């Protein structure tokens, strides 16, 4: 019987579990909300899943290592490996998750050459977009689509979540278009993401991973801002867990 290798990505918003076979093909993938007890949710996700080895990544990986005596890998290496399996020859990865965002440059062998990470505040992350969507009265799933309907974007001067929320509330009170405010917010996030990318890599396609990659406005603005190919995996949220699973097998 062939061996199976699992990767679990314990993020701030969601937990992903991916199991691959010896050929690196995905045989199972599961996703759940992180909730207030990440370890309990991880245990539930793993219940009944068979594998020979598991590797953890994500912000909760150290807790997982202690509880399950399992090896861990940084999110940078996990996303780099997962992106490489999606696009052979990939040289740049942009991951925007719930809690942080990171730009990763890879060398010709697929190894991490340089990276930059924003993990000090919510600005430029999925959490920022989630809070802003709620402030504007949009469902997060519809936020990007609504932003794309705007005729122009409104400049949002603050990237601090608290101040930006106040600024958005003030713009709404002045009767400004919610769609134009939404586009302005997306533009501010993309400015930050594009800056990170340009500091680590200047050419080639970009593999866009993380839950925010599902947002159509983010994809369109990133393409427009950088003028580079944007590649989106079918399940961008699974890339970190997939990378961890592949590394577990290697």
The values of phi and psi at residue 149, to 5°, are -85, -10
Q: What is the mean pLDDT of the chain?
A: 94
Output the pLDDT for position 187. Answer: 95
**Spatial distance between the Cα atoms of 68 and 76, rounded to a whole number of angstroms:** 22
Task: Give 12's pLDDT tier (boundaries 50, 70, 90).
Answer: confident
Residue partners of 120: CB distance under 8 A and separation at least 6: none
Query: How would you write the chain as a 3-class SS string?
Result: CCCCEEEEEECCCEEEEEEECCCCCEEEEEEEECCCCHHHHHHHHHCCCCCCEEEEECCCHHHHHHHHCCCECCHHHHHHHHHHHHCCCCCEEEEECCCCEEEEEECCCCCEEEEEEECCCCCCCHHHHHHHHHHHCCCHHHHHHHHHCCCCCCCCCCCCHHHHHHHHHHHHHCCCCHHHHHHHHHHHHHHHHHHHHHHHCCCCCEEEECHHHHCHHHHHHHHHHHCCCEECCCCHHHHHHHHHHHHHHC
26-48 pLDDT, tens digit per residue, is 999 999 999 999 999 999 999 99
**Spatial distance between the Cα atoms of 246 and 71, rounded to a whole number of angstroms:** 13
Check whether 5 has a pLDDT greater than 70.
yes
Output the pLDDT for position 119. Answer: 64
List, in order of start, the domains of the chain with CATH numbers. 5-120+191-249 (3.30.420.40)
Residues 149-174: what's their mean pLDDT? 92
**Spatial distance between the Cα atoms of 82 and 130, rounded to a whole number of angstroms:** 25
Residues 123-128: what's their mean pLDDT? 87
pTM of the model: 0.93
Check whether 123 has a pLDDT greater than 80.
no
72-94 pLDDT, tens digit per residue, is 999 999 999 999 999 878 899 99
Task: Give 120's pLDDT tier (boundaries 50, 70, 90).
Answer: low
């Amino acid at each position: 019987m062939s061996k199976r290798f699992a990767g679990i990505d314990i993020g701030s918003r969601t937990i992903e579990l991916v199991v691959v076979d010896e050929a690196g093909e995905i045989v199972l993938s599961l996703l759940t909300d992180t909730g207030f007890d990440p370890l309990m949710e991880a245990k539930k996700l793993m219940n009944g899943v068979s594998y020979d080895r598991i590797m953890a990544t994500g912000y909760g990986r150290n807790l997982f290592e202690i509880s399950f005596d399992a090896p861990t890998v940084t999110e940078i290496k996990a996303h780099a490996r997962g992106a490489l399996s999606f696009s052979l020859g990939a040289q740049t990865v942009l991951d925007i998750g719930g809690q942080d965002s990171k730009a990763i440059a890879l060398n010709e062998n697929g190894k991490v050459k340089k990276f930059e990470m924003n993990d000090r505040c919510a600005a430029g992350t999925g959490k920022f977009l989630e809070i802003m969507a709620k402030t504007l009265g949009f469902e997060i799933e519809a936020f990007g689509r609504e932003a794309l309907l705007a005729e122009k974007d409104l400049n949002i001067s603050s990237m601090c979540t608290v101040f930006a929320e106040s600024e958005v509330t003030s713009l709404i009170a002045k009767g400004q278009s919610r769609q134009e405010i939404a586009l302005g917010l997306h533009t501010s996030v993309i400015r930050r993401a594009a800056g990170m990318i340009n500091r680590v890599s200047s050419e080639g396609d970009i593999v866009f991973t993380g839950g925010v990659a599902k947002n159509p406005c983010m994809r369109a603005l990133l393409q427009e801002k950088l003028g580079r190919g944007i590649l989106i995996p079918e399940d961008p949220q699974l890339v970190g867990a997939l990378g961890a699973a592949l590394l577990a097998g290697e």
